[in-house]
Structure 1
Amino acid sequence: MSILFYVGLMLLCGLLAGRIAKLVGFPNVTGYIVAGLIIGPHILGIISLEATEGIGIVSEMALGFIALSIGAEFELSYFKEVGKTPVIIALLEGTLAIVFVTVTLLAFGYDLPIAVMLGAIASATAPAATIMVIRQYRANGPVTKTLLSVVALDDAVALIAFGFAIAVTKSFKGGSSDLLITILDPFITLFLSIIIGVLFALILLIPIRFFKKESNRICAIVGVVFLTLTLADYLGASSLLACMVLGAVFVNISKDAVPVFRIADSVTPPIFMLFFVLSGARLDVSLIPAIGVIGALYIIMRVVGKLCGSWLGSVITKAPEPVKKYLGWTLIPQAGVAIGLTLVVDQVVPEYAGQIRAVVLCATLIYELVGPVVSKLALKKAGEIEG
């Protein structure tokens, strides 16, 4: 069957499921994920596993635009207003998620490599589902603004933590001859991502300056985002971080930033819908019984770490009361970066890779289904969603 058939089917099923989700009070994104789960290869099988792999480019496109929109929130005027609050909160909630998961798994007798690896992966947060909730309900306020900055920093924290986890694991296994390179690797990745993002932000200035029609600007934005994603992947940098930096730099150096990002938002709805339906189609519910105690510990302790870390960071920075109470609950979703890191685990500790992948994939299933609903409730309790 043609890939176009599957794309059309996914869009229509996503549209219907989003409306049903809205009618019962759930965020649209939950409907998209459930739709994908039902029509995907692991339940009804209408969409085959091969088809989900064939449409995989949609995931890259969606994550690129999601990262761009997060970066667009990094206006210097905003950071002058809030100071170090998002940075401190991101460091603490990421670090405590790592510590809580790692220490708990070690206390339950699991081997150091699996505990350290899962601990590092626990720090990652998936911004996509939360961003969709914010857009759908037009959430606005201190929790929303802090959240957008924190999730943008989260992946940087996760990449660095994972680099150290690899170093610890290699040292534990006796392969420490290249320990310095292993430790430096995440910082090199971070540096490369920043350079690529800055470069393409400067490149984007050129067509935006000379082309004023929306149709031309759409072509320029899409082209630059695609090139950023491609070059970052080719050089081994983080495409997500590169696109975040692209958005962050552009919003601060261009007087046309507001209309440009408004145009970018206008082309993304079908891409985002496909992304979440596809994410649902890739989730394998049969993994749930297989993960056992280790999966339950990972899922619970990661959430506890995020809640405690965001609360502690908010207290230290004297953030507004709603941020202290509700920010942690919006940091539950986990997907892209975490799943990507499990692929690296296969190269470092292949003997644990299957178990780690099963835990992370199962956690993703639960977090992605529950996370958007919890995020909506948290933002509503914070008074940042009307109705």
Structure 2
Amino acid sequence: MERSILFYLGVILLIGLLFGRLAKRFYLPNVTGYLVAGLLIGPSVLGLIPATALTGMEAFGEVALGFIAFLVGSDCKLSYLKKLGKTPLIITLCESLGAVALVLAALLIAGYPADCAVMLAAIAAATAPISIIMVARQYRASGPFTDTLLAVVALDDAVALVAFGIASAATTLLHDGIGSSPREVGMAMVGPVIELAGALFIGIGLGMAFSVPLRFFKGRESRLILTCSFILLGVALADLLGLSALLMLLCMGAALANLQQDAAAIPRIADSIAPPVFLLFFVISGAKMQLSLLPSVGLIGILYLVMRALGKTLGSALGAKLTHSPVSVQKYLGPALLPQAGVAVGLSLLAAQQLPQHGAAIHTVVLCSTLLCDIVGPAVAKYALRKAGELPTGSDRL
């Protein structure tokens, strides 16, 4: 590893810490401070962290994402999911389909090509679970609204992958017409589903494997080392197989939580190294944002951004009403689902490969949506948690 990368990592930790403290002064989540810090020191503004250094830090970002996903999965006990029932699944389907339907309708009415509209509509279903989860963790939010929110964002990306598979098949038909062979259509549809299933089963397998050495290593230090080793192995395996590290590590954490009796101690042990990992992930994410893309978005970007937000809000309200969820869930869940990154950006790259004639437009729209929603989204999520009455007294100082 080049010494310069280590230097830049040190700079990121220091500046991220300062901006996290500054965010608290304005009663904003740490995540917002980290993202703004990254944006300012990245190539788009001050250029303190050059693009070449960011490329060298990609592995750190992947490991941090896997670490966060594992911690989220470790909270997914079957007893907890049974308590929530079908509510999160129904709400997830409603808000995802709401975003897909409104984005698709708006782009088609505005006269954009059908294949481009279908791809963007499918990507609109995805939500960035990490920033939302981090806000809830920072403020120690708890209650029915928080439980529903965390369950919905955990399911959201799985639904987005399935929607993208269907969209890929649809665009194959739209692009090639009747000449498309059943095999081509089938492969376009099945690919993302295979990715989803692969991440699910391999993640569960890793969780089962992880539970074995835990029976023999009871010490805090030993278990911390085991946790780090399995997270690194999971991220590397996901990269090798071309699967979603987010979903794989989430499934690994969930499998471990349900197989190991004292698994609840693992997240508490991992929390000791969590703060710098989270800080690195979000500052690096902010540094990758490209302000130069904003002027090129145009009407298609505005329609995508507005219709996606409207679809998520109306869809979640409908799903919450159908499941007789508390009023707080019906009113405030939608705005908390604004952030979009991770899976959405990855899907935009796949869409660009499948539709090279629209690739630049699709990727630019999704990146700009990520830029705007990830800066504003954490603050909106905090507002929703406050309005739902699930932020403890004095939490603004956390």
- TM-score tier by shorter-chain length is over 0.9
Deviations 1:221-253 (A, max 9, x none): 111111112222222222211111111111111
State the match for 1:176 in structure 2: 180
Q: Are the equivalent residues in 1 in contact too, given 2:107–2:117 (CA < 8 A)?
A: yes
Please, which of 54, 59, 78 is the counterpart of residue 52 of structure 1? 54
Please, which of 91, 111, 129 is the counterpart of residue 131 of structure 2? 129
Aligned mates of 1:345, 1:285 — CA distance in 2: 22
Deviations 1:42-94 (A, max 9, x none): 11111100101111112111211221122223211122212100111111111
Aligned mates of 2:185, 2:341 — CA distance in 1: 28
Matches within 5 A, 1:217-256: 217-256=223-262
Q: Are the equivalent residues in 1 in contact too, given 2:336–2:384 (CA < 8 A)?
A: yes
Q: How many residues align?
A: 387
Q: Are the equivalent residues in 2 in contact too, given 1:37–1:281 (CA < 8 A)?
A: yes
State the match for 2:354 in structure 1: 348
State the match for 1:294 in structure 2: 300
Q: Are the equivalent residues in 1 in contact too, given 2:95–2:314 (CA < 8 A)?
A: yes
Aligned mates of 1:38, 1:347 — CA distance in 2: 30
Aligned mates of 1:339, 1:41 — CA distance in 2: 19
Please, which of 106, 109, 124 is the counterpart of residue 108 of structure 2? 106
Aligned mates of 1:230, 1:112 — CA distance in 2: 37
Aligned mates of 1:125, 1:114 — CA distance in 2: 20
State the match for 1:367 in structure 2: 373
Aligned mates of 2:389, 2:74 — CA distance in 1: 23
State the match for 2:121 in structure 1: 119
Deviations 1:9-46 (A, max 9, x none): 00000000000110111111111111111111111111
Please, which of 330, 338, 343 is the counterpart of residue 337 of structure 1? 343
Structure 2 length-normalised TM: 0.95
Structure 1 length-normalised TM: 0.98
Matches within 5 A, 1:66-81: 66-81=68-83
Partner AA of 2:219 in structure 1:
K
Q: Are the equivalent residues in 2 in contact too, given 1:73–1:149 (CA < 8 A)?
A: no
Q: Are the equivalent residues in 2 in contact too, given 1:90–1:154 (CA < 8 A)?
A: yes
Deviations 1:298-327 (A, max 9, x none): 111111111111111111111112111111
Deviations 1:137-170 (A, max 9, x none): 1111111111111111111101111111111111
1:259 equivalent in alignment to 2:272: no
Deviations 1:159-210 (A, max 9, x none): 1111111111111111622111221222211211111111101111122111
TM-aligned CA deviation for residue 346 of structure 1:
2.3
Partner AA of 1:176 in structure 2:
S
Helix, strand or coil: the match of 2:333? helix
Q: Are the equivalent residues in 1 in contact too, given 2:352–2:362 (CA < 8 A)?
A: no
Worse-superposed segment, 254-263 or 179-188: 179-188
CA-atom RMSD in angstroms: 1.1
Query: Runs of at least 4 residues of structure 1 off by over 2 A?
Result: none
Helix, strand or coil: the match of 1:74? coil
Helix, strand or coil: the match of 2:174? helix
Aligned mates of 2:213, 2:309 — CA distance in 1: 44
Aligned mates of 1:184, 1:345 — CA distance in 2: 15
- Over the matched positions of the two proteins, sequence identity in percent amounts to 51
Aligned mates of 1:361, 1:184 — CA distance in 2: 26
TM-aligned CA deviation for residue 263 of structure 1:
1.2
Gaps of 5+ in 1: none
1:200 equivalent in alignment to 2:206: yes
TM-aligned CA deviation for residue 106 of structure 1:
0.4
